[in-house]
Structure 1
Amino acid sequence: MQQDMNFLDRNEFNFEPSEEVVKAFNNFDIKKLCFYTRIYGEGKKSIFSDFLSERYDINEQQIILGYGAEDLLKQAVHYFLTEGGSKTMLIPKYSWWYYKSIADEVAGTTLQYPVYENGDTFCYDFEGLKAMVDEVKPKILLVASPNNPTGNGLEPSELERLLQMVQPSTIVLVDEAYASFVSDDTSYVKKLVETYSNVVICRTLSKFYGLPGLRMGFGFVGRGEEMDRFTRYSNKYLGYDRLSEEIAIAALKSEEHYRHVANVMQEAREMYNREIAPLNGFKVYRSVANFILIKYPIELKEALQQAFADQSYKIKFMDEPGINTHMRITLGRREQNRTVCDTILHIAKQQ
């Protein structure tokens, strides 16, 4: 009998939603779908943006909502690359293919800035990036923290350093899809959006809160005329999905549940470092996201792929230049993590 497939290739959620999320779904008043939201009468866009305003202590007018973080990223790239002036966006050397794709959709130019391997992690070359920014004068500088697929993140002080190195005319677009795995301290977000008029920070419920199928993203923007125009462009006149709003609020109220899941993922990181890192030809990189990047001997690729297929597991084998000898593995349940680790150990011993 065919086993159920274990999807550990797209950084999805292999756990259960919180009880609060289940209750929000089961107790939803279906009649609400018969009417548009009434919160627009208060000058607000959504009960979710209102909730986020209180949670982050940020003006509701500086909060944007979208169909996942991918939608917010697309909105920002499409808007800022077409409003006039430069049509150039800088992205990390190793990053999500989607960034270039959405710039291509509006005939934008995408250039990669330096990211270098440093021990068991990857780092931004701030000096090299500063020189590139001064020369190119891009409209958008996109940073991902944590970054997919490398798993490294930026400290709040490093984000501020990036904002200080660009002109106010350059938008610093920050993809923080995985940021909640790093810390529950979000006080720096308020400081950045209140200090800098050219910052857009995007988050999602798809990763830490395990709801990629909900398609709910949120973001924060700086204050200023340009950002006011962007938020008007981004806002939905008739409101947002009323069921998704209530589920999203329930998810953000379930911190304890999702921190427990994050602890299981931390156990997996430690296991991979303890058991896979010492293997000949293998290297395990530090990660602050819900996945881990592992370098492996390329001659084992076919054997690893077949072994995972036999176990009904899907793993992401990277094919980008520079990291085409790496695999990215979503951190799942304990038994899934154990199976992946044992599979790698089995194949490695056959070298």
Structure 2
Amino acid sequence: MSSSIEELARANVRKLTPYQSARRLGGNGDVWLNANEYPLAVPFELSQNTLNRYPECQPKQVIERYAAYAGLQPDQVLVSRGADEGIELLIRAFCEPGKDAVLFCPPTYGMYSVSAETIGVEYRTVDAQEEWQLNLPAIAERLDGVKLVYVCSPNNPTGNLIKPEDIRQLLEMTRGKALVVADEAYIEFCPAATLTGWLQEYPHLVILRTLSKAFALAGLRCGFTLANAEVIALLMKVIAPYPLSTPVADIAAQALSEQGVAIMKQHVKEVLANREKLIADLRECDCVEKVFTSETNYVLARFTASSAVFKTLWDQGIILRDQNKQPGLSGCLRITVGTREECDRTIEALKTLPGASDSREQA
């Protein structure tokens, strides 16, 4: 029976490799540094008791508060079940399966390909250049038939910003042809780099945001798509009738209040201080070959014998994110910035591991 059921599924779904989220990978740790979450809970509680009624499709208070926070008008904001739903809504609204394509530049976030494959839309990749910047000439050669170009900045998992002048060139070459989707999931850690101020100049620019990272609400699953009103109106045609549950809208509105934003900014200050100490400490570990610059709440590092490092820490309950399968990231592990105690425990574990010269001597 199971084989016949599988044959009923779409061919692209049968072939699909699902996105391996941090929770899907499992683990029995007590130091979770693999999902880029804020390490502590936030002090919000449910205030509404209207679960017998359907929620608003686009909760007015959430939309208005996020628009004010982002410096935009309410008709430029759409709220969804995480930024992941925004990724998918754009493909559903703008890409014809079997005809159009999306493009992105690995190493980068894995859901761009999964969403495209799920819907049956071709995805094209142009590997990033040195320091993970855009290869604009190669992108230009592959734009025929592309409707969406996803650019993650700061980029996950590398942590770097994409040069604004390169994004501007990309916007110019795609004008009238495709949308450029800037994924700003981590922008609160480098707010000056946001592209929201470019929306008026570029009607085909779209920006993705989330409450999962700096707002410390990964479990809420609440994200935002920022764009010109014409784009938002098209996305509203394909979004689910009730994308946000009443409890999600309730907490999101609190997080976007004046007090909630102040709490977020304090979290960011703490994370940035912990990040700088973590980077400095990582550079003192023999098993670390290179630590990359980060504009986010995580750090990418290249290790000697990274698989052994990953397993050793896993066995000690310290869960990191293995990036070895990503293009150009051989030997790399991504480490979320946790509490000071969690970072210190990670460094203590790493300092017991041999470095490159020690590994060669033991071979």
**Normalising by structure 1, what TM-score?**
0.83
Q: Which residue of 1 aligns with 2:282?
A: 276
1:264, distance to aligned residue in structure 2 (A)? 2.8
Q: Which residue of 2 aligns with 1:162?
A: 170
Of 15, 18, 30, which aligns to 1:5? 30
Q: Which residue of 1 aligns with 2:212?
A: 206
Confirm whether residue 123 of structure 1 aligns to residue 137 of structure 2. Answer: no
1:194, distance to aligned residue in structure 2 (A)? 2.4
Confirm whether residue 80 of structure 1 aligns to residue 97 of structure 2. Answer: no
Superposed CA deviations along residues 140-193 of structure 1, whole A, max 9, x for unmatched, are: 11111111111112355543332122132301122111111112675x41x332
Q: Which residue of 2 aligns with 1:250?
A: 254
* Residue aligned with 1:139, SS: strand
Confirm whether residue 64 of structure 1 aligns to residue 72 of structure 2. Answer: no
Q: Which residue of 2 aligns with 1:261?
A: 267
Amino acid at match of 1:149: P
Of 108, 122, 135, which aligns to 2:121? 108
Change in CA separation of 1:279 and 1:52 when aligned onto 2, cut-off 3 Å: closer
8 Å CA contact retained: 1:198, 1:227: no
Query: C-alpha separation between the residues in 2 aligned to 1:198 and 1:347?
Result: 49
Unaligned 5+ runs, structure 2: 1-27
* Residue aligned with 2:335, SS: strand
Amino acid at match of 1:233: V
Superposed CA deviations along residues 181-226 of structure 1, whole A, max 9, x for unmatched, are: 112675x41x3322322222111111111111111111112244x6
1:345, distance to aligned residue in structure 2 (A)? 1.7
1:328, distance to aligned residue in structure 2 (A)? 0.5
* Residue aligned with 1:307, SS: helix
* Residue aligned with 2:237, SS: helix
Q: Which residue of 1 aligns with 2:342?
A: 336
8 Å CA contact retained: 2:66, 2:256: no
Confirm whether residue 94 of structure 1 aligns to residue 119 of structure 2. Answer: no
1:132, distance to aligned residue in structure 2 (A)? 3.5
Change in CA separation of 1:35 and 1:318 when aligned onto 2, cut-off 3 Å: same
Change in CA separation of 1:35 and 1:107 when aligned onto 2, cut-off 3 Å: closer
Amino acid at match of 1:8: L
Change in CA separation of 1:262 and 1:58 when aligned onto 2, cut-off 3 Å: closer
Unaligned 5+ runs, structure 1: none
* Residue aligned with 1:172, SS: strand
Q: Which residue of 1 aligns with 2:317?
A: 312
8 Å CA contact retained: 1:221, 1:227: yes
8 Å CA contact retained: 1:90, 1:112: yes
Superposed CA deviations along residues 234-273 of structure 1, whole A, max 9, x for unmatched, are: 3x54574222222112212323322332233223332233
Confirm whether residue 46 of structure 1 aligns to residue 65 of structure 2. Answer: no
8 Å CA contact retained: 1:5, 1:312: yes
Amino acid at match of 1:218: F
Query: C-alpha separation between the residues in 2 aligned to 1:93 and 1:249?
Result: 34
Q: Which residue of 2 aligns with 1:294?
A: 301
Query: C-alpha separation between the residues in 2 aligned to 1:151 and 1:164?
Result: 25
Change in CA separation of 1:270 and 1:238 when aligned onto 2, cut-off 3 Å: closer
Query: C-alpha separation between the residues in 2 aligned to 1:167 and 1:85?
Result: 23
Superposed CA RMSD in Å reads: 2.7
Query: C-alpha separation between the residues in 1 aligned to 2:63 and 2:263?
Result: 22
After superposing the two structures, state which structure 1 stretch, 261-270 or 324-333, moved more.
Answer: 261-270
After superposing the two structures, state which structure 1 stretch, 256-265 or 273-282, moved more.
Answer: 273-282
* Residue aligned with 2:275, SS: helix
Query: C-alpha separation between the residues in 2 aligned to 1:85 and 1:239?
Result: 27
8 Å CA contact retained: 1:197, 1:227: no
* Residue aligned with 1:243, SS: helix
8 Å CA contact retained: 1:214, 1:244: yes
Query: C-alpha separation between the residues in 1 aligned to 2:339 and 2:284?
Result: 23
Matches within 5 A, 1:18-57: 19=43, 22=44, 25-26=45-46, 28-30=47-49, 32-36=50-54, 46-57=60-71
Superposed CA deviations along residues 317-351 of structure 1, whole A, max 9, x for unmatched, are: 22314213100111100000111112112103564
Q: Which residue of 1 aligns with 2:40?
A: 15
Q: Which residue of 1 aligns with 2:17?
A: none
Aligned residues: 327
